[in-house]
C-alpha cells in the first residue's frame, strides 16, 4: 500500500508541512460580524473598486494574495503553485486573479469545500517534495452568488428561513515544506455523498451527510475520536445542517456535540444580522480559517482541529432538472506546535 | 529546494508511475471521424439514453469509469481517488458521476486542460505514495456546451470559420504507483497566460500563448528540446491556434514544426465533417489520449510524447463583461518502456 496513505480516504504528508502565513479579505457585512476585527482588510464598497461583482471577487483574491505575500515577505515568483477555485461559473474569480502573474496554477472546483480541498492538495504537494511554497486560496461574493444561483438582487426575492447568506470574502494560506508552529498533519479526501435532498434553499442539510461521512472516515483512518480534537470545524453547514450532522453522529452512538462548530455560524451573528441559517460560500470557511482559527492555533489556544470544508455540488441546471444535491466534504487536520 | 521539483514549473514523480489502463466513450460525430474505430464505446443517441444532455455527459463519464474498471479488473472500492472535472457550470458532469460511489473525489476546473491537469495531479499523488490507484477523467458534450457557452441549438446560429466543435466524449485513465509499459515521467504546471484576445469564437488562438509558455517551460525545466519527443500533442488549439503556436516558436528560433500535433485536428476530418477549425472541449484531448495516443505508446510506436491540455478560462459572464480570454496549459510527459 502507498506509504503515506492512511486507511481508506486519508493520508499524511510525506514530510512536515506548515501553514506559515495567512490573509483574509472581507466585505461590509462580514466586517460587522463577530470576527470583523480579525480580518486583514475589509471594504464598505461591495464592488471593491471594480465595475462588477465578479471582478470584485477577483479583486478580493488579488488582495488576499498580495496581503499574504507581503506578510511572508515573498514575491509572486517565489511561489511554486497556487491551488484555487471559486463559485463563479468557470471559476473566473480564480483564473483572472492568476492571469499573467507567472505563478503556476491548478484550478479546482469543490463548491464551498474549496478552502479545505486546496489545503489538502497543498499538503500533498509540499509534503511530497513537489514544491516548497504553495498557496491555497478561494473566494465568494454574496451578490455574484445571488444572481448566478438564485435571483437578481434587484428582484427582491424572499429568502427562506433555511437559506444561508453567501460570505463576501477571500482567504489565502501559505503552505510550506518545513516544520512550523501550525502544521498540517493529515487529510481526508471526501466522497460525493447524497441522501436525495432536493431543496436548493437548504444546502446545509444537503451537505451534512457528506460532512458526517468524511469526519467519520477521518476518525477511522487516523484512529482518532472527537476527544482528540479541540474543535471539529465544518465549512458552512449553518445552524440547520449542523443539527443534522449532530443527529447523524448521535444515531451512530458517537458523542461529538461539544466539539463541533461551523464557520457559517461563527462568521455572522445570525439573528442580529438577519442571515437566517448562517453564512456559506467558499469564502466563508476561508476567512474564518484565515483569521480566528489559524491565529488561535498559532498562539496555542487551539492545539488540534479538524477543518472540514463542505460543498454542495449542485448547479442551477441540475436544480431545474429536478436532480438531488450531492455534497462533498474534505478534511484537513491542523495542529499547533506551540 | 523540493527534491521532486525540476526547474520553475515542473516535477517528476517521487516514485515510478504508470498508466495501466484507459477507456474512451464518444458520440456519433466522433465515431464517424478518423479515430472512430479506436473508441471503446460510441452511441448514435446524443443523449446516451438519458433525458438531458447534461445527464448524457454524466452517463459518458460513468461509462468511461465502468469500462476502465472492467479492463483493469477492479471495482469502485479499489480506487484511492478520482481527479475529474468538466465544462458544465459547477462541474455537474463529474460530481453526479461520482455521486454515492464511495470513491474519494477531487473536483477540478481547468476548462479543456482538465485531462492533462488530472493526469498531472494523479502523477503527483501516486508518485508521492499518497495513493496506489488513481483515475484521471473528464468529459464534454457538444450540445450542452453550445447551449451553455453559445446559443441554444434550436436557434440555428451561424458558426464562425474560426469556431471549433466541442467533442462529445469522455476519457478516463488509470494511474498506478508502479512501473509499467506506459509511464508518466514528468509534468509541467501551467501559468494563466493571456495576450489580450477577446474573440470567444476563436479560442484556439487565445490558448496558443499558454501552450507556448508551458511547452517552453517544460523544455527549460527538463533540459529537453523538440527532438527529444516523438510528438508534442496540444489539447485543442485547432488549426488556427496551432499556427499561432508554431509562429511563437519560430519567433524564438525554436524549430518545432514537425513535432506538433493537436487533438482538435486528430479527432475530426475538419473539411469533410464541417467542424471549421477543429475539435475542442475537455473530452477532445481525453478521447484522443485514451485511444490512439496511449495505444501507440503501449505498442512502442510512440516512445515519448508531451501531452499538453489547453484550456480557455473564460465564461459567458467574462465575455459579456468585455474581458479577455486567459488560457492555461498543463503538460505531462508520457514515455513507452517497450
What mean pLDDT do residues B97-107 have?
98
Task: For residue A294, give how far its alpha carbon lies from the nearest alpha carbon of chain B (Å).
Answer: 24
Residues of B in Cβ contact (< 8 Å) with A107: 108-110, 117, 313, 328
Tell me, what's the pLDDT at A105? 98
Interface check B14 vs A, CB under 8 A: yes
* A256-267 tens-digit pLDDT: 989 999 999 999
Q: Which residue of A130, A133, A314, A325 is the best one to mutate when testing the B interface, meaning the one whose CB has the most B CBs within 10 A? A: A130
For chain A, say whether B129 makes contact (Cβ under 8 Å).
yes
End-to-end CA distance of chain B: 33
- d(CA A97, CA A186) in angstroms, rounded, equals 29
* pLDDT on residue A254: 95
- Are the beta carbons of B103 and A313 separated by less than 8 Å? no
Chain B residues with CB inside 8 Å of A82's CB?
none
ipTM above 0.95, yes or no: yes
Question: What spatial distance separates the first Cα and last Cα of chain A, rounded to whole Å?
Answer: 33
Report residue B307 as a C-alpha cell: 501531452
Of B2, B101, B192, the CB nearest to A98: B192
- The closest of A313, A314, A31 to A169, measured between CA atoms, is A31
- As a whole number, mean pLDDT of residues A189-193 equals 98
Interface test with A, best of B9, B106, B146 (most A CBs within 10 A): B106
Average the pLDDT over A39-68 and give the result. 98
Partners of residue A111 in chain B, C-beta under 8 Å: 90
Phi and psi based region of residue A102 (left: phi greater than 0; alpha: psi -120 to 50; beta: remaining) = left
Cβ B95–A323 below 8 Å, yes or no? no
Q: For residue A118, name the pLDDT band (cuts at 50, 70, 90).
A: very high
Q: Specify the DSSP element, H or E, that contains A24.
A: strand A18-26
Nearest to A1 among B14, B106, B132 (CB): B132
DSSP A215-256: HHHHHHHHT--GGG-SEEEESS-HHHHHHHHHHHHHHTT---
3-state secondary structure of A120: helix
Instruction: Please state, in angstroms and rounded to a whole number, the distance separating the CA atoms of residues B27 and A29.
Output: 48
Query: Kind of pairing, strands A165-166 and A279-280?
Result: parallel
Residue the block writes with cell 506506459: B182
Q: Rounded distance, CA A314 to CA B22, Å? A: 28
Secondary structure letter of residue B252 according to DSSP: T
pLDDT of residue B324: 97
The pLDDT tens digits of the residues spanning A202-238 come to 999 999 999 999 999 999 999 999 999 999 999 999 9
Residue where the block lists cell 478561494: A138
Residue in B3, B98, B321 nearest the CB of A54: B321
Contacts A16 to B, Cβ<8 Å: none
pLDDT in tens, B220-247: 999 999 999 999 999 999 999 999 999 9
Residue-wise pLDDT for A234-282, tens only, equals 999 999 999 999 999 999 999 998 999 999 999 999 999 999 999 999 9
Q: How confident is the model at residue B1 (pLDDT cuts 50, 70, 90)?
A: confident
Amino acid at each position: 500500500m502507498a506509504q503515506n496513505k492512511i486507511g481508506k480516504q486519508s493520508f499524511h504528508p510525506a514530510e512536515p508541512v506548515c501553514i506559515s502565513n495567512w490573509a483574509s479579505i472581507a466585505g461590509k457585512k462580514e466586517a460587522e460580524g463577530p470576527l470583523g476585527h480579525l480580518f486583514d482588510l475589509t471594504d464598505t464598497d461591495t464592488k471593491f473598486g471594480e465595475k462588477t461583482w465578479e471582478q470584485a471577487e477577483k479583486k478580493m483574491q488579488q488582495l488576499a494574495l498580495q496581503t499574504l505575500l507581503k506578510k511572508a515577505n515573498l514575491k509572486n515568483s517565489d511561489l511554486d503553485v497556487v491551488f484555487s477555485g471559486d463559485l463563479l461559473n468557470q471559476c473566473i474569480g480564480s483564473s483572472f486573479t492568476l492571469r499573467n502573474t507567472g505563478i503556476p496554477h491548478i484550478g479546482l472546483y469543490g463548491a464551498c469545500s474549496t478552502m479545505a480541498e486546496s489545503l489538502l492538495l497543498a499538503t500533498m504537494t509540499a509534503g511530497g517534495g513537489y514544491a516548497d511554497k504553495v498557496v491555497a486560496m478561494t473566494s465568494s461574493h454574496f451578490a455574484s452568488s445571488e444572481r448566478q444561483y438564485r435571483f437578481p438582487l434587484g428582484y427582491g426575492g424572499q429568502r427562506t428561513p433555511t437559506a444561508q447568506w453567501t460570505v463576501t470574502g477571500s482567504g489565502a494560506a501559505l503552505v510550506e515544506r518545513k516544520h512550523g508552529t501550525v502544521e498540517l498533519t493529515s487529510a481526508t479526501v471526501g466522497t460525493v455523498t447524497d441522501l436525495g435532498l432536493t431543496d436548493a434553499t437548504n444546502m446545509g442539510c444537503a451537505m451534512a451527510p457528506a460532512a458526517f461521512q468524511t469526519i467519520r472516515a477521518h476518525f477511522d483512518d487516523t484512529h482518532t475520536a472527537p476527544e482528540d480534537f479541540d474543535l471539529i470545524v465544518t465549512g458552512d453547514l449553518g445552524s440547520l445542517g449542523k443539527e443534522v450532522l449532530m443527529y447523524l453522529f448521535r444515531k451512530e452512538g458517537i458523542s461529538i456535540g461539544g466539539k463541533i462548530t461551523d464557520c457559517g455560524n461563527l462568521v455572522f451573528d445570525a439573528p442580529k444580522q438577519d442571515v437566517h441559517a448562517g453564512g456559506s460560500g467558499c469564502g466563508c470557511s476561508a476567512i474564518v480559517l484565515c483569521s480566528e482559527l489559524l491565529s488561535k492555533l498559532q498562539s496555542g489556544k487551539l492545539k488540534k482541529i479538524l477543518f472540514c470544508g463542505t460543498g454542495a455540488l449542485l448547479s442551477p441546471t441540475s436544480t431545474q432538472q429536478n436532480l438531488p444535491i450531492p455534497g462533498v466534504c474534505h478534511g484537513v487536520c491542523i495542529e499547533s506546535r506551540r
